[in-house]
Amino acid sequence: MGRHRAGDAAPSRDWIDAQIGKRHRLSRFHDPSIALDDQSALLWLFPTRADVGDYAHRDEAYRNLGTSAALNVMRNVFADFDSYVLHLSDQRVVEHRPMRADDTLHSDVFIETYEASDGADVYGVRVVFTDTIGALVFTDHATFVGKLEPQQAPIHDEEVKPPAKSDPGLAASS
């Protein structure tokens, strides 16, 4: 069954309800042994084992990986809504065990909650990262705000004309 083109509309409550709780699997979301040309630089945050031991660096990596996975799914889920813009508003990470430099991560993204608030849609998203044997590494909880934003009118390039020659009589004298 194909999806409809919604264009300039926001998703309906029924459509959103159908998305709540669905599991979106991103297999091998982060694999340090494979270098993919099109993979985000955010995913390559552990060049050495020492970096993984640095908690501040690891915490930033968790947030970046969580945001990347969530946005990957959210953009796909809402791809048919051209004027529907999503913004990350809040994020919290729960570490189950420290990430290792050689971890290959899989992620499951769940859109868990929805609520309408002040003309915007607020989504609660949970991203669960596991290693190759399925052991939990960390879980990212994020809040996204979706809003219908009007599309801007196309910009037409106008011919730029050179300035007219100035009248020498108007030049300032010293």
Q: Is residue 2 part of a domain?
A: no
Q: Is residue 5 part of a domain?
A: no
DSSP string, 65-104: HHHHHHHHHHHHHTTT-TTEEEEEEEEEEEESS---TT--
Q: Is residue 8 part of a domain?
A: no
Q: Is residue 167 part of a domain?
A: no
Going from the first residue of the chain to its last (174 residues), give the mean pLDDT of each consecutive group of 10, the final group possibly shorter.
48 81 74 53 47 68 84 80 83 89 84 89 92 91 86 58 56 49
Q: Is residue 143 part of a domain?
A: yes
Q: Is residue 49 part of a domain?
A: yes
Predicted TM-score of the model (pTM): 0.67
Q: Is residue 165 part of a domain?
A: no
- Inter-residue contact 42 to 117 (CB < 8 Å): no
How many domains, the chain? 1
Give the CATH number for residue 114. Answer: 3.10.129.10
